Amino acid sequence: MTATSNVRRLHSASAASKPMQKGQQTKAAIVEAALGLATQIGLEGLSIGALAEVMQMSKSGVFAHFGSREELQISVVREYHTRFEEEVFYPAMAAARGLPRLRAMFDNWMKRTSVEIDSGCIYISGAVEFDDRPGPVRDALASSVNTWLSAMRRAVELAVAEGHLNPDTDADQMAFEIHALILALHYEARFLRSPDSLHRALRAFEGIVGRFSAPALASKPITQAAKS
């Protein structure tokens, strides 16, 4: 292929990519608006018409980016999961393996939860909406939650390997109890409006870690143990 034909090919590819880039930006903006709506009214409340009104677009214009309401809902679940990982999981990977990393994951989770007390959590509201409704949306939700819980279990296993937790620690049980704290926190804070729910959740986490901690660390405050 000659240099001239190469230049022509590049120009052609560039011209073809511009509409795609604009389309991707529009789709991203729609998903952003849909995510904002979903935190307020739930995934089930999303509709092409409501988004078209928010985006000041035609219904057909919104529909062209997704093809169905179901695909729109799945896109919102994926975007929520991406942001969850960026805020909770990836920053915690900078912490040392073991209890410091597990604690960082929980601390980041708590920070996000404290914001979602007002805005709502897609994982929790979605579970209520789709727990008994098989299909792609439920599958996307369950896959995202299981991915996060698997990361929590792996963090527990690493804490055992590092000697921070008892060798006989049940990683599934510990991850279950930590997850239960977050669910209880949402219920207490959002529904019951308990003013001390965040403090109680933190105390409960310390209690869980204390029960599973290796003997050498069990007598130390968790903040000290995490730094050792």
The CATH number of the domain holding residue 143 is: 1.10.357.10
User: If you average pLDDT over residues 38-62, what whole number do you get?
Assistant: 89
Q: Residue 165's beta-bridge partner residues?
A: 213
* Axis-axis angle for helices 136-161, 171-186 (nearest 10): 120
Query: 103: which 2 tokens?
Result: 């604690």
Please report the pLDDT score of residue 140 as a whole number: 97
CA-wise closest residue to 42 among 119, 134, 157, 111: 119
pLDDT at residue 219 above 50? Answer: no
Band of residue 161 on the pLDDT scale cut at 50, 70, 90: very high
Answering whether pTM is above 0.95, one says no
Average pLDDT value for the chain: 86
How far is it, in rounded angstroms, from Cα 34 to Cα 112? 19
pLDDT at residue 222 above 70? Answer: no
Please report the pLDDT score of residue 227 as a whole number: 41
pLDDT at residue 20 above 80? Answer: no
Residue 178's CB: how many other CB atoms inside 10 A?
23
Cβ-contact 141, 77 below 8 angstroms: yes
Query: 57: which 2 tokens?
Result: 């677009």
Cα 42 to Cα 31, 34, 103, 136, 147, distances in angstroms: 14, 10, 30, 16, 21
The residue type of 39 is T
Angle value at C-alpha 130, between 129 and 133, nearest 5 degrees: 130
Please report the pLDDT score of residue 172 as a whole number: 97
Residue 223's CB: how many other CB atoms inside 10 A?
9
Cβ-contact 135, 149 below 8 angstroms: no
Hunting for tokens 């704290």 — which residue is that?
Answer: 181
Torsional class of 160: left (φ above 0), alpha (ψ -120 to 50), beta (otherwise): alpha
Please report the pLDDT score of residue 123 as a whole number: 94
Over residues 88-137, the pLDDT tens digits come to 999 999 999 999 999 999 999 999 998 888 888 999 999 999 999 999 99
Residue 147's CB: how many other CB atoms inside 10 A?
13
Residue 144's CB: how many other CB atoms inside 10 A?
20
Q: How many domains does the chain have?
A: 1
Domain around 119: 3-227
